[in-house]
Chains A and B, each alone.
Chain A
């Protein structure tokens, strides 16, 4: 079984569902669109729009720095592919969770969240219209496989919860000062 993907945290859902090329010369309209995942959109936004470095952005997306870089590289590859081949870009899917549930109102064009998780939203808080739509969320495994690996001291057996993005070998055992190693439960 391959390693499970850690759900990426998305703070700002995209304002659009995708992009279309115009002035198409060839038959590229028939080409399949490029599917840009939510996490790839977020990675691109963090790094190139908000100007965070990969390390800061990885912490905000709750993944390790190398994983963030892979997501970012994949985003750039997909966008380059769409530009060069004149394909559509569709932003959807991906293994993500949002910091809170976000909704979009079709009537006034606003985005809003629902801080009360137990109550459901039926109308837009601004214009009162019921024409609202929830942003996509992959709820299947959103919270359950949050990493519960441990960092263990190989000498004295001291254990500590593993922090994502911090390599175990950089952590030291407080009693014998040995670099820690990872242990999967």
Chain B
């Protein structure tokens, strides 16, 4: 264990304290009655304009875990890890076309969650529950990974033990409880500006110290030549399909998650979302540059015990303590924003689609806000327990499965915007088959997101989630076709 880096630690503590104060004060920002209505606590009053939404979705979609894990993957395998770049580009034409439509449905009917939209469209409690459970289960390990990302930088500063993470999380839980979505929205400003500064400085200074980008790429190339296997600074032909399907599948999944949808539903107009689809790619530029830090770690000849240490070790090796502390604070605060929004998204789902649907249908608006606030605490304690008591690998595996699962809610949420042809029975069975086949395939391949199919002697390797989605859609079409033949009209009894 390294000695404690006091300069870095004080800088870190200063920024952490700053955002804590902001988190508590956020309840009064653009003030509304935070505890009287779930729209206020869980969606910040549905009033966020273009810039707030830009910071909020940017801060919440490009997470702390991304800052650690994407460079780690690029460090370990090279070009293949870069699929995050095409993924976070093609997601925006999709967001531009679909999300304003979804926002309009939610706004018109006062919906807060994806499962609300699905229930409103198909009047099926079963399908609503399926979508709500998928969202909650997929979010938990995602929150746990934010904690792991925070843990990596805290460890890099020389602090041992679990208490710093526990302390950080209690603070986060308390201000999320009192301020709701306003807290991460306000903190996102600080977090994102810090991350932009860190990355822009790093991508200029680091290559300057290491002999330019040409030298960085050639050092990475040498490292992969020595390592061998399916690594390299460009893809092997066998990786093409995996790269493209991972990018496409991830892009379709990204805005099915409760935390990203919460950002969408919290914006004040459909036009806010459209403008954000044009402006959010700025974060993708940042992500691509962050990914290159993985190659810079090769050029700096760092000796890493785990690829996850690539970014923190790089900052410690090449920058003075005060800047390393600033960078670590940016990453740790970067964990707080998504963790807060994810717990709010999961709490909204539980409140609206489990508590209201099954336990107390006559709940008041203030009652909904109260249930959601308590649930957000439970979700965070659950995620904390997850990171403290279960192996890290388990969180990673579950997060990967979570991406596959959340993608299976795509047909139920999106198809209804275009056609009323589908029936709840078909979509529900498609969801079951997609999740079942996808989980089984990923599990039997040793928790890898890829599966292979062999046609005429050639094996095609692709992203399991996308394969499961195709299967899901095929089942939904067949079952809907059958149900429509048996019951040509949607009967009153189906509207439970």
A and B: interacting chains = no
